[in-house]
Amino acid sequence: MGRVRGRYRWWIGTLLLFSTVINYLDRQTFSVLGPHLKAEFHWSNERFALVIIAFRLAYTVGQPLTGRFLDRIGTRDGLTLGVLWYSLAAMLTSLASGLRSFCAFRFLLGAGEAANWPGATKAVAEWFPRRERGWAVALFDSGSSFGAAIAVALIPFLYARLGGWRPAFIVTGTLGLLWVVLWRSSYHPPETHPRLSDAERQMLRADRAAEQAHNDAVREASIPLPLGGEDRVRGAPGWGTLLALPQTWGVIAARGLSDPVWFMITDWFAIFLASKGFAIEDTATGFWVPFLAADLGNFFGGGLSSVLIRRGWAVGRARKVIVVGGALGVLMLIPAAYLSRFVPLVACFAVATFSYAALSTMALALPADLFENRAVASVAGMAGAAAGTGTIVATFLIGAVADRFSFKPILITASFVPLLAAVLVVRLVRNDARSGRGLLKVI
């Protein structure tokens, strides 16, 4: 590969985008094929939910474990192993023959996919200065909505052209194997990367030095901690150490109380539209609109927060403004619950997903904003575990409520949950006496 001068970090960001797109293609294959699989295997919504929960269970347990693993072995090898694992699991799903085998293969898929967000967040912390991290997180996180939107068009095409659902899992699974080859040839830490220009390497070093100097200045001006209160251990901190910090709980709340809303839409949107009488084949041109809106929301949130930081806003203040605004926008799910016309219904979902994505971009940026690099993936993993736990509970309840009642109470409840996330972020994500003292950064 040729030498990329001055902007190699954005090539790394693009690789993370591709990884996230493939990640979502693999997981959305099942959801898009949901109406066909429900008909073929005679599943109720509750039984369909069991397959989703199998994925979520592995994904939830896997996030803190893979986060810790990534902090120990590094981003390059960690993401390589994760993508290889879930690509093979996606291809194996083509062998499923019923509820149990689908649950087993989706469990394996979730275990591998758990590495993507902790790994991408860690890579952003390694490769991007603070003023650009919002954009970088928006770039890779937009892959979730890009992948979901592509799946809406690609999976029905594969289903129709290849004669069924089994080849669709094989085709999407092979993409990850191709990505691994590109990743291994492109990614090394910036300190030792052979294709990184001297100017870009120096810029990254200068940003880290400035960040450390800012932390030192705040530390010297703050009230001294009691003996032993300053973090002096240079290895990856334990979960207990991290969970003792309110900032960790702020990050956990940001993901744990907002991600279930997104996964409700990605996992159940096709089923929801079917319950309203819309066929996927007839509404494909509008089905992807909420996912495109989410892409725009990613870049809006990341871009606006980066602009505010460049204009002198504190990082924490810039992130919180987007979090609060995004939570308010998700309230548009309420009118969506009452609409039966396709265009206004999809428009309400689009506003909600745009708003969620802006909030989510900030939630994903917070671990790199708040913590030293040696703890970033661990905190991101714990936040992902909280998101997975909330999603598992939500998925079980959605299946039961949809079968017994309708999707209306589900959408109304989902619209309010991100507001609680915003309140907790505002309360918990702030500087305190530990900020700038070794583990926590000044935000």
312-335 tens-digit pLDDT? 899 999 999 999 999 999 999 999
Angle at 123 between CA 108 and CA 442, to 5 degrees: 120
For residue 222, pLDDT over 70 is answered with no
Instruction: Determine, yes or no, domain membership for 157.
Output: yes
How many CB atoms are closer than 10 A to CB 19? 26
pTM: 0.69
pLDDT at 280: 65
Instruction: Determine, yes or no, domain membership for 228.
Output: no
pLDDT at 433: 84
Instruction: Determine, yes or no, domain membership for 231.
Output: no
Range name among 27-41, 210-224, 227-241 with the lowest pLDDT average: 210-224
pLDDT at 218: 52
Instruction: Determine, yes or no, domain membership for 88.
Output: yes
pLDDT at 216: 58
pLDDT at 282: 62
For residue 369, pLDDT over 70 is answered with yes
pLDDT at 283: 65
Q: Classify burial at 101, counting beta carbons within 10 Å of its beta carbon; exposed 0-12, middle 13-18, buried 19 or more.
A: middle
The pLDDT tens digits for 34-83 are 888 988 999 988 888 899 889 989 988 888 888 888 888 889 999 999 99
| Total domains present in the chain | 1
DSSP structural state of residue 288: T
Q: What residue numbers bound the domain in which 318 lies? A: 8-186+204-215+237-428
For residue 5, pLDDT over 60 is answered with no
The pLDDT tens digits for 380-395 are 888 988 988 888 888 8
pLDDT at 227: 38
DSSP structural state of residue 429: S
pLDDT at 331: 96
Instruction: Determine, yes or no, domain membership for 220.
Output: no
CATH number at residue 157: 1.20.1250.20
pLDDT at 229: 47
Using the Cα atoms of residue 127, residue 21, residue 110 and residue 85 in order, give the sign of their dihedral.
negative
Instruction: Determine, yes or no, domain membership for 410.
Output: yes
Range name among 95-104, 244-253, 279-288, 405-414 with the lowest pLDDT average: 279-288
Q: How far apart, in whole angstroms, are the C-alpha atoms of residue 156 and residue 419? A: 35
Identify the CA nearest to 377 among candidates 114, 199, 59: 114
Mean pLDDT, the chain, integer: 86
pLDDT at 385: 84
For residue 284, pLDDT over 70 is answered with no
**For 161, left (φ over 0), alpha (ψ -120 to 50), or beta?**
alpha
The DSSP bridge partners found for residue 371 are 440
For residue 180, pLDDT over 60 is answered with yes
- Higher pLDDT, residue 348 or 152: 348
Rg (CA), the chain: 21
For residue 224, pLDDT over 70 is answered with no
- Higher pLDDT, residue 31 or 422: 422
pLDDT range class, residue 12, cuts 50, 70, 90: very high
Identify the CA nearest to 391 among candidates 37, 47, 49: 49
The pLDDT tens digits for 353-364 are 999 999 999 998
Instruction: Determine, yes or no, domain membership for 223.
Output: no
pLDDT at 192: 85
Instruction: Determine, yes or no, domain membership for 353.
Output: yes
pLDDT at 226: 43
Range name among 27-41, 114-128, 267-281 with the lowest pLDDT average: 267-281
How many CB atoms are closer than 10 A to CB 337? 19
- Higher pLDDT, residue 443 or 427: 427
Angle at 228 between CA 227 and CA 233, to 5 degrees: 150
Q: To which residue do tokens 């699991």 refer?
A: 89
pLDDT at 406: 83
